[in-house]
Structure 1
């Protein structure tokens, strides 16, 4: 299993090299969402086409997720940002990178660009949480969802139920999620996280592509990005909600690959995005 040790924690990492002979390729790093998510959500959707376009695609499981080590603490925003750069350092990737982030991964990506602007060349934020004018507003829905999951996993023994009926993969995912939500400081760290407000967004020096579903419950964050970030493109996907990565992959690639071509110097594959 490919892995690196960063900040004393073991992280599961996958890298896709660019197709063909590409000297000094741009690096695109994928940051996934919370709890039931892991690097596979990008591995089977966006990472392959991005590598085919001439970039080095770097995917990693966040602390406590997927095959990365689950630690008792360290799930705050600052820790997640530090984890990201420590993983890149361990891989020898010290030049500016483009970050592609989904859902809660956008909180990490936004804060990474604000904390270390010299190391972030651009952001693709897909259904990203984080931007908000009021503390607590951005995270209320997220915390409610995670809290309900915690109760179901712990008191209804969901993992055991799934394993008992033969749903092994889902059962293992539920067991991992149970250990993460109910066995670490994740929920407390989420509750303590501060939103990224308009004043901070106005200081972003890198270009941003924001993609949200028309029916998304966090589309207001996309509008705030558009109005506050100096160089931001907002694309709203008709008919979609929060699951645009999984259900709108083709349209997402049709928007993202030309944007990366313009800002990162990759190419758009001939014959379609896939």
Structure 2
């Protein structure tokens, strides 16, 4: 693990593995970079350089207080790439909140993206009810910590069959959630509540794109994935059967095969 010291006192923990065309993967909430472990190993072992950061307030990256929507995360990612000397466009991927950050990165830094992975995520701005819910949840996490929430949502993050059949995956997901900083999680929830609507951006993203969704995902169901797929000019939609909100961990073989095809389309 490395630590990048960025402007404004921001410290970002990251992994930088492999050699070859760069791939940048952005984790969701309330996880950390280790949620991409199957993809990190796959990419680094197959001729790619994979950069996997902990967003500020998650994993090994300290929280820094209020956020400017999701834009602070996007700027952190760009600064991290600069810190690492990555000056060519990347294949950018994100899951859930990470997918929304990936869209924000495309908004701010379109020339730095050559391919886009959007997993179990959505593009529209938050609804008024959704905004209230996120702010209320932020208050709750500051008061209770992450453990009660983690136990409550585990069987929505991953399929109950995965919990029963793959206890190692369940333990990993639970560990990530319980280990997240309440301050970091709360700041991200408030920033996410105020995120812009990325719908109008989608037709302008002309790089090869992959939209992935778990067939059992109730947070961002197939309809959300179809919405993205219908509006991205050069996209492929992959539905991962028997997976919920984290198909990259639940069905890594299927997920990695789809990712490999995106890389072929993006890089050749």
Query: TM class by shorter-chain length?
Result: 0.7 to 0.9
Q: Residue 121 of structure 2 aligns to a residue in which SS?
A: coil
Give the structure 2 partner of residue 268 of structure 1.
none
Give the structure 2 partner of residue 195 of structure 1.
197
Give the structure 1 partner of residue 245 of structure 2.
242
Cα drift, residue 189 of structure 1: 1.8
Structure 1 distance, partners of 2:51, 2:116, is: 14
Q: Which runs of 5+ in 1 are unaligned?
A: 19-24, 266-274
TM-score calculated relative to the size of structure 2: 0.80
Match of 1:255 among 255, 258, 262: 258
TM-score calculated relative to the size of structure 1: 0.79
Tell me, yes or no, if structure 1 residue 177 matches structure 2 residue 190: no
What do residues 85-116 of structure 1 show as CA deviations (whole Å, max 9, x unaligned)? 01101111111000121111001111212322
Tell me, yes or no, if structure 1 residue 116 matches structure 2 residue 109: yes
Equivalent pair of 2:6/2:12 in contact (CA under 8 Å): yes
Structure 2 distance, partners of 1:177, 1:259, is: 33
Equivalent pair of 1:146/1:181 in contact (CA under 8 Å): no
Cα drift, residue 175 of structure 1: 5.8
Cα drift, residue 261 of structure 1: 2.3
Q: Residue 202 of structure 1 aligns to a residue in which SS?
A: helix
Kindly report the root-mean-square deviation, in angstroms, between the aligned alpha carbons of the 2 structures: 2.9
Q: Residue 45 of structure 1 aligns to a residue in which SS?
A: helix
Tell me, yes or no, if structure 1 residue 205 matches structure 2 residue 206: yes
Q: Which runs of 5+ in 2 are unaligned?
A: 152-170
Structure 1 distance, partners of 2:40, 2:73, is: 21
Q: As a proportion of its length, which structure holds more helix?
A: 2
What do residues 10-44 of structure 1 show as CA deviations (whole Å, max 9, x unaligned)? 110111113xxxxxx21001100122x111111x2
Larger Rg computed on CA atoms: 1
C-alpha distance 50-29 of structure 1, shift in aligned 2 (>3 A): same
Cα drift, residue 227 of structure 1: 1.0
Tell me, yes or no, if structure 1 residue 38 matches structure 2 residue 32: yes
Give the structure 2 partner of residue 224 of structure 1.
227
